[in-house]
């Protein structure tokens, strides 16, 4: 209990060295990771989970890449080492599009994250927590680390690379950086480059964390309390961009929570909903990882250093399908149209009709499963 009488969550809600690994496996990179912004990151470890078995010729490998607060636990129940159940259920199951009897599925935690891969909450080579010393890691740097994982697993090329939101950014970078290693590509609810609107949404989230009195310049991990209030505010802001105004209006309207009149100090139901999602996140995520990953998303630009967006997209040679959500106000459909139009191997844009906003790519599992199954069935 702190001085205000509140029992705070741990300074970091992320996975820490010594915690139960659960289903995670780990790879230590053989050399420091050279960073796009300059310098290098030594001692990089990637955590990942796999399902199925790699075929002798390596032809059945599928890479699934998570969004901002996702992790390696794509499928499976909550349990030791995994505070929440798999974040994309329904894809890896017998008869599903990623049936483990047919496919070898790999789901890594991004560098900079907080679920086993090296990030701000991880120990640096000197034994101290990285904290404020953790450098800027871009989406392109994440992909460079994941290439080492593919090499270590014996995967010359992926049959498919899949991701939504930040996972779409990573998937696109995979296909643009290593076009010969990606046979098929499924991009969901992501852009070719982050827009001013998206960077604007991100700014108050980052500032909410950095202005928390327990931020301590990013060096809070060994203290009894971290910037969980700021992380909670960031999550509330972000969640509003993940869902649609229509959904919030139809689910909550102006209803009070538990009948308590907001004029007498009660909360509106929508406020309670946002509080709930904030509380969940602060118990499973790290605030400094949230800052660094959000910055990586801000810097996402497939055309950077490649002659612009059109030239960046032209590097992609994979058989590609692009899908967006009708009610997505964070990454609107026009951005997926740009991807579908600019990638030579792409068919027409697939529109997911959903009231759930950006999160529709996670919620409309049946639609995504159908798209994925159709893509995997196409010859390349």
Q: Say if 13 falls within a structural domain.
A: no
Q: In 3D, which of 322, 326, 346, 348 has the Cα closest to residue 336?
A: 322
CATH number for 129: 3.40.50.1820
96 in the same domain as 222: no
Show the domain range for 55.
25-195+301-377
262 in the same domain as 116: no
Among 90-94, 139-143, 147-151, the least confident range: 90-94
276, 295, 314 - which closes a domain = 295
341 in the same domain as 232: no
Q: What is the pTM of this model?
A: 0.96
Q: What is the pairing mode between strands 25-28 and 45-51?
A: antiparallel
262, 295, 328 - which closes a domain = 295
CA distance 375 to 350: 12
77-132 pLDDT, tens digit per residue, is 999 999 999 999 999 999 999 999 999 999 999 999 999 999 999 999 999 999 99
Q: Say if 9 falls within a structural domain.
A: no
181 in the same domain as 140: yes
> Structural domain tally of the chain?
2
Q: Say if 84 falls within a structural domain.
A: yes
CA distance 356 to 236: 16
210 in the same domain as 164: no
Q: Say if 180 falls within a structural domain.
A: yes
Q: How many CB atoms lie within 10 A of CB 16?
A: 17
277-336 pLDDT, tens digit per residue, is 999 999 999 999 999 999 999 999 999 999 999 999 999 999 999 999 999 999 999 999
| Positions marked active-site | 165, 328, 358
Confidence of residue 33 (pLDDT cuts 50, 70, 90): very high
Confidence of residue 67 (pLDDT cuts 50, 70, 90): very high
Q: Say if 153 falls within a structural domain.
A: yes
DSSP, collapsed to helix, strand or coil, labels residue 280 as helix
Q: Say if 223 falls within a structural domain.
A: yes
CATH number for 245: 1.10.1740.110
263, 295, 327 - which closes a domain = 295
36 in the same domain as 98: yes
30 in the same domain as 175: yes
264 in the same domain as 178: no
Q: Say if 186 falls within a structural domain.
A: yes
Q: Say if 358 falls within a structural domain.
A: yes
CA distance 340 to 334: 10
181 in the same domain as 113: yes
167 in the same domain as 55: yes
282 in the same domain as 151: no
181 in the same domain as 36: yes
Token pair in block for residue 374: 């159709």
């Amino acid at each position: 209990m702190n001085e205000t009488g509140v029992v705070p969550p741990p300074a970091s809600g992320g996975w820490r060295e010594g915690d139960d690994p659960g289903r995670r496996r780990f790879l230590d990179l053989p050399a420091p990771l050279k960073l796009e912004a300059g310098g290098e990151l030594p001692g990089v470890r990637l955590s990942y989970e796999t399902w199925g078995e790699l075929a002798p010729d390596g032809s059945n490998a599928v890479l699934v890449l998570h969004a901002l607060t996702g992790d390696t636990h794509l499928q499976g129940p909550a349990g030791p080492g995994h505070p929440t159940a798999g974040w994309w259920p329904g894809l890896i199951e017998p008869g599903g599009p990623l049936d483990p009897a047919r496919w070898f599925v790999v789901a890594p935690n991004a560098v900079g994250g907080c679920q086993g891969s090296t990030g701000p909450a991880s120990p640096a080579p000197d034994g101290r927590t990285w904290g404020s010393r953790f450098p800027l890691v871009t989406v392109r740097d994440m992909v460079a680390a994941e290439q080492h994982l593919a090499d270590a697993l014996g995967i010359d090329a992926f049959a498919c690379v899949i991701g939504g939101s930040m996972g779409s950014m990573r998937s696109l970078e995979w296909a643009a950086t290593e076009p010969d290693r990606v046979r098929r590509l499924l991009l969901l609810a992501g852009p070719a480059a982050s827009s001013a609107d998206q960077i604007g949404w991100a700014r108050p989230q980052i500032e909410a964390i950095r202005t928390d009195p327990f931020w301590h310049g990013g060096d809070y991990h060994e203290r009894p309390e971290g910037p969980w209030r700021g992380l909670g505010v960031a999550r509330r802001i972000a969640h509003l961009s993940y869902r649609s105004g229509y959904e919030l209006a139809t689910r909550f309207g102006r209803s009070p929570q538990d009948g308590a009149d907001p004029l007498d100090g009660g909360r509106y139901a929508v406020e309670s909903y946002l509080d709930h999602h904030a509380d969940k996140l602060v118990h499973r995520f790290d605030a400094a990882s949230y800052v660094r990953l959000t910055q990586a998303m801000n810097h996402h630009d497939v055309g950077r250093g490649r002659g612009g967006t059109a030239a960046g997209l032209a590097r992609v040679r994979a058989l590609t399908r692009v899908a967006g959500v009708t009610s997505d106000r964070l990454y609107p459909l026009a951005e997926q149209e740009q991807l579908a139009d600019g990638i030579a191997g792409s068919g027409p844009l697939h529109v997911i009709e959903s009231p759930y906003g950006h999160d529709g790519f996670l919620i409309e599992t049946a639609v995504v499963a159908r798209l994925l199954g159709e893509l995997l069935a196409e010859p390349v």
